[in-house]
Structure 1
């Protein structure tokens, strides 16, 4: 039996790792490139990405709960993963996050790490150096 703090820590670690794997390794290049497009293909690419990301999180979470014998609610896990999936889809559509950044006056942060930022990273030759950066870490078309 694990206390609440231990369960929280284990679940947090599991979901943090699963997010990194699902968002960077499971997501296809095609999904990453198209998920912000303003058309049906963009919406579908984003939905597919979020579905595989959520599945990755569910599998890792279930494994951790089982291996560690944690007391966890199936309903709580489903609700949490649903809220996570919906918010991730919303943010990954990019224009939604760009609008929020504009409204909060955080556009400079949104484009940090991209060529649109005035202090974007450069190579020794002065060319743009691609980076994961922060903010949207991708196109905000």
Structure 2
């Protein structure tokens, strides 16, 4: 018998709240891992696979949804949301701003007070007030 740094516990009597619709499969892993430094982790992961192929995961308080088209939505414990689209674009939503990042390096940010900032790949910066009027255009 070999020794392993991973100890798997299977707890069939753990209550699993039904959060998924019919036809979705749900997995719950309870695993205790011995780290090299001697510390112990107690992750409690949940995964739900929906009939359309969408996968929802909860891992250490971080929620992640992977859609069949390749879009990934991650929500951190603090509520920050990151959306990675299949076309290479990325959106970041925080309490302070919403930002879209394009594959060419352009970023568009809308702040909570309504003003907007656009930075394109060439270095040009445009700032608009909450009414949409340009207040800065630096090339």
Same fold (TM over 0.5): no
Larger radius of gyration: 2
> Normalised by the size of structure 2, how large is the TM-score?
0.22
Instruction: Give the structure with the larger helix fraction.
Output: 1
Instruction: Give the structure with the larger strand fraction.
Output: 2
> Normalised by the size of structure 1, how large is the TM-score?
0.22
